[in-house]
Each structure stands twice: as C-alpha cells, then as structure tokens.
Structure 1
Amino acid sequence: MNYNLLWYLWFIWSCALVIYILSWSVTLTLMRQYRGLLLAVVVTLIARAAFRRLRFNKGIIMFKRKENNFNASYAETVSAAAVTPPEDDFEESVSAATVVKAAPAAPVNTTTIPETCTITGEVNAQGDVHINGNITGKIIAEKTVFVQKKGRVDGEIYAQRTEISGELKGLCRSREIAINAEGFMDGTIECESLAVHQEGRFYGTSNPWQQDKRESGLSEASVSSAQEFQLHKATLVQQ
C-alpha cells in the first residue's frame, strides 16, 4: 500500500509539472481534446486501486479464519489429552515405578580426623582413615591411611596402604607407601612398594615387608640359639 501511495504522488507531481511547463491554457485545450482518454485512464486507476484493496482485505479475512480454526483444533486436542490420559501409558509408568528401585547405599567406613582434633593414644578403623589433625600414638587400619597436608602423626601406622601428604614421624608398616608432594617422613618404613614424589622428603630407613613379625622373631631366636650351641660345642671339642 505504501508503494501505491508513492506512485500516486509521483503521478500527481508529474501532472502538476506538465501543467506548469505547458501553461494552464494549453493544458485545458489538451484536456478538452483528449477528454475521453483522460477519463478512461482515471477510471482504470480507480478500479485497479479498488480491486487491490478488496483482494488484500479478502486475504486478511482468510488468514484470520485459518488461524482461528488452528487455535480451536489445538485447544481441543490439548484439552482432550489432559482430560483423558491413555491407560497404556499410565500402566507403563506404574510398572516402571514398581520395577525401578533405588539401590541401598553401601556403608562407607571412613574415619576422618579434622584439623581441630588432637588425639593421643590408639586409633583402630575398619576402613580408610583421613588425618587432617594431630595424632600421637598408634593407628591401625584395614584399608588406607591418608595423612593429609595439614595432618601430623607422631607414632606408628599399620595399614594396607599409606599415603603421606603431611608429616609422619615414627614407624610406617604397609604393603604400599606413597610419599606425595610436600610429604615428609622421618623414621622407619616397612613395605613391599615405595613411591616417593620428586617434591616429597624421606629421612630414615626402609626395610622389606614381613608377613608376620612373630614368626620372624621366632626364626631369628632359633638361629641365634643354634649358633650359640655350635659355638659351645666347638669350644668343648677344643678342650
């Protein structure tokens, strides 16, 4: 519609320009001479404008009808779906709810010593032990002992695995021992596997892992007694 208005303005402006150039008397003479042609042109322009406007209004009415029909059908389908849910889907959801059950959480046997805690004595744990505080004494764990960066232990540790990121002074007896970065160990280590980080520090002695201290002690006692007996026998023979 804006383009049509511009065309009309251009037409009026061109007519005014022609009248100005030819003068009003000459223009009247031409209009009287070509009266029929001018009337036909004007009627054609008016009819074309009316036809385009009628066609445009008709298109708007058809679009509104289609939009209203679509909204009505969509509202009917949504209301029908909300009012009458399918029974099959309901049964499937119920069966899924009955079949899927939350697995019981496994018990976590973890002992944590906080930073504000100081223990003097013996600590026994069935699982892992995380040490962030200070312990003076003996620690016995069935799994892993973690000496954290702020943890301090002065005593003995007996566990399957020991990771030292803090400070440990004393004895550490574990199958696997790892001294991490900023870890400090001063004392005796008895293990099968020892890993020391490049920034970790270890001062002391490292001995191989012994399965049973009592059996090793008995064997050493028997060997020493046998040696003493052979030495005593040798002295008797010389005499």
Structure 2
Amino acid sequence: MLGKSKKASSSEDARTNVNTIIGEGAVFDGNLSAPETIRIDGIINGNCTCEKKLILGANGQIKGNIYAQDLVISGKVDGDISATGKLELLSTGKINGNIIARSLVIDENASFDGRCTMAVSLPDHASNDNPATEEKTDEKTNEKETSEREHRKH
C-alpha cells in the first residue's frame, strides 16, 4: 500500500463498524450472507456474501467463493473472489483462486495463486457460483461474433 503505513491500515479497520464477527476458533459450515461489514477470524466452509466490507483476519480462513463490495484479506482464501470495490491483500494474506475486482492492492510477501481480472462491473453472483465462468462465456461470444463478421466479409 503506497503511502500508507501498517498502523494506518490497522486503525482504518478499527474505525470500520463491524456488524458480524466470526471469532477465532469458530467454524461455520455453510453459506454466509451479511448485509453490513463482517470480520472473520475463524473458519468458514462455504461461500460468503457481504454487501459492504469483508475483513479476513490473519488467523481467518475461507474455503469457498467470496462476493463483497470491499475486502481486506490477512488470512487464507481457497476460492474465487468478486469485489465491486477494492480488494486489499495484506502481507500475511494468501489467496488460491481467481479474482475479479475494480481495484486491487497487494502487499509485499502476500501470496496470490490464480487469475486476476480488473472489471468495472461484475457478474451477478446469485446466478453464478464461479466468477471466472462468465468471463469465459463472454470470450466465446466475442470469438463467435468475430468469426461471423469475418465470414460475412468474404
């Protein structure tokens, strides 16, 4: 994070009004949905949907896809992420999966294994469990349209 110290990031998280907390040591099996900001320091085995900000603490883990406006990842994610706003992957964070985000910040020593797509608008997650699927469909549609145009020219 250019121009920001770790203290600035920590105090920003402290000022965020967190409405839902999954504490360290807690394990949640199933899909989780929250209308406001959520902080996860435990383990989630399922998809997470958050209309505001999702904060994953250093000891937190999510094994599933994540859909949120903004995300701060300090823990481990095994799944795809869709962010309509900003995704921050802090130095202790690890992501194994694909990312679709409007804005992305990756700290030194963070780990990211997957594909990243910068997007102004995101696919509707309610009808799509895999954020990368819609992109592949769009690519096929574009290839087909290009092929049809080339065919018409000849």
Equivalent residue number for residue 68 of structure 2: 159
Name the SS for the 2:79 alignment partner: strand
Structure 1 segments unaligned to the other structure (5+ residues): 1-107
- The count of residues paired between Structure 1 and Structure 2 equals 128
Q: Residue type matched to 2:71 in 1?
A: T
Equivalent residue number for residue 106 of structure 2: 196
Distance 2:135 2:81 in 1: 18
Cα 1:198–1:142, aligned 2, differ >3 Å: closer, same or farther? same
Cα deviation for residue 229 of structure 1 reads 3.2
Equivalent residue number for residue 183 of structure 1: 93
Q: CA RMSD in A?
A: 2.7
Cα deviation for residue 219 of structure 1 reads 6.1
Cα 1:199–1:230, aligned 2, differ >3 Å: closer, same or farther? closer
Cα 1:209–1:116, aligned 2, differ >3 Å: closer, same or farther? same
Cα deviation for residue 176 of structure 1 reads 0.6
Equivalent residue number for residue 148 of structure 1: 57
Equivalent residue number for residue 132 of structure 1: 41
- TM normalised by structure 2 equals 0.69
Cα 1:196–1:220, aligned 2, differ >3 Å: closer, same or farther? closer
Equivalent residue number for residue 131 of structure 2: none
Cα 1:172–1:228, aligned 2, differ >3 Å: closer, same or farther? same
In our comparison, the structure showing a higher alpha carbon Rg is 1
Cα deviation for residue 199 of structure 1 reads 3.0
Cα deviation for residue 195 of structure 1 reads 1.4
Greater relative contact order (CA < 8 Å, ≥ 6 in sequence): 2
Q: Residue type matched to 1:197 in 2?
A: D
Q: Using the aligned pairs only, state the percent identity.
A: 24
Equivalent residue number for residue 209 of structure 1: 119
In proportion to residue count, which structure has more helix? 1
Moved more, 195-204 or 150-159: 195-204
Name the SS for the 1:207 alignment partner: strand
Structure 2 segments unaligned to the other structure (5+ residues): 1-16, 125-133
- TM normalised by structure 1 equals 0.46
- 8 A contact 1:187–1:203 mirrored in 2: yes
Cα 1:116–1:217, aligned 2, differ >3 Å: closer, same or farther? same
In proportion to residue count, which structure has more strand? 2
